[in-house]
């Protein structure tokens, strides 16, 4: 088999996700919430997968009603391979199929490299890299028998540079590993699944809001765009990668950073 080739269609139709079913890990807040909204706005039915959010079910109901699609919330833990596999299998059963999986769940912490405990290092890897792989593996076990699927990882510009002034070697390493994982899977699974990454720069989410103001001032000096990105500004990139508009795109890392990585 070769990489799936859709029929030629009107360009706006190529972005249309009606009839598709998508699942988004970490889909109840931050970037993941905007991805869930974006896919629903493009017409997909959406499964929001969350770990600790207290209002995921309410959010799913709001998304469903606003867009005339099905949207349900599922609690699961990506760092538990059997749990995330069971969840994705349940999503496929409940919705009748599964076409798109966005492996978005992630965490960050900041420690000097020499001070990391084994537990601190391991927790980052378990969620950001192991959890992403377990999610991808579970998705592939659905996509392969179907003959098609689409996997999108949320990586980070931290995969291709060293952020300052914060010290976050574990986070950076996990995201660099994730980008390389996507490249590997895009080749291994080319006959039944496209695999791509989105690597955002500094995004205005709760993950950044806790940092000292002097850090933010330094970031602004390094970002040519001179501002943070709002999560909703990433919506189009995920719809693009999830849709036939990017049908020949696999193994790519789409960097969206206000030119932060260029100077």
What's 224's DSSP letter? T
Six-digit token string for 183: 């490249």
| Cβ 41 vs Cβ 238: under 8 Å | no
DSSP element (H, E) containing 123: helix 118-125
User: 7 in helix, strand or coil?
Assistant: coil
171, 186, 243, 246: the catalytic one is: 171
| Spatial CA neighbour of 148 closest among 139, 138, 137 | 139
Q: How many CA atoms lie within 13 A of 215 on its CB side?
A: 12
- Is residue 247 part of the annotated active site? The answer reads no
Active-site entry in 175, 199, 235, 243:
175
Active-site residue, 171 included: yes
Closest by CA to 64, choosing from 95, 26, 86, is: 95
Give the torsion sign (CA, 60, 34, 87, 42).
positive
d(CA 66, CA 94): 21
Q: Among residues 122, 108, 111, which one has the least CA distance to residue 171?
A: 108
- How far apart are the C-alpha atoms of 87 and 78, rounded to whole Å? 10
Where are the extended beta strands (E) located within the chain?
21-25, 45-50, 71-75, 100-103, 150-154, 194-200, 253-256
Task: Indicate if 54 belongs to the active site.
Answer: no
**Residue among 36, 53, 76, 156 flagged as catalytic:** 156
CA–CA dist 102, 53 (Å, integer): 18
User: Active-site residue numbers?
Assistant: 156, 171, 175
């Amino acid at each position: 088999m070769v990489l799936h080739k859709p029929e030629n269609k009107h360009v706006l139709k190529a972005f249309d996700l009606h009839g598709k079913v998508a699942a988004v890990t970490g889909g109840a807040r931050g970037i993941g919430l905007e991805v869930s909204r974006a896919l629903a706005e493009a017409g997909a039915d959406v499964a929001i997968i969350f770990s600790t959010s207290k209002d995921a079910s309410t959010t799913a109901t709001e998304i469903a009603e606003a867009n005339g699609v099905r949207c349900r919330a599922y609690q699961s833990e990506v760092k538990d391979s059997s749990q995330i596999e069971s969840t994705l299998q349940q999503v496929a059963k409940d919705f009748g199929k599964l076409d798109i999986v966005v492996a978005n769940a992630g965490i960050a912490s900041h420690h000097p490299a020499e001070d990391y405990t084994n537990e601190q290092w391991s927790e980052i890897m378990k969620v950001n890299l192991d959890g992403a792989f377990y999610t991808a593996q579970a998705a592939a076990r659905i996509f392969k028998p179907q003959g098609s699927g689409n996997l999108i990882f949320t990586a980070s510009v931290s995969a291709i540079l060293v952020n300052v002034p914060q010290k976050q070697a574990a986070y950076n390493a996990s995201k660099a590993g994730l980008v390389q994982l996507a490249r590997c899977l895009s080749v291994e699974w080319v006959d039944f699944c496209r695999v791509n990454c989105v690597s955002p720069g500094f995004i205005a989410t709760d993950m950044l809001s806790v940092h000292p103001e002097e850090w933010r001032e330094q970031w602004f000096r390094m970002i040519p765009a001179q501002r943070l990105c709002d999560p909703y500004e990433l919506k189009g990139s995920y719809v693009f990668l999830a849709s036939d508009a990017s049908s020949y795109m696999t193994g790519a890392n789409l960097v969206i950073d206000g030119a932060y990585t260029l100077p």
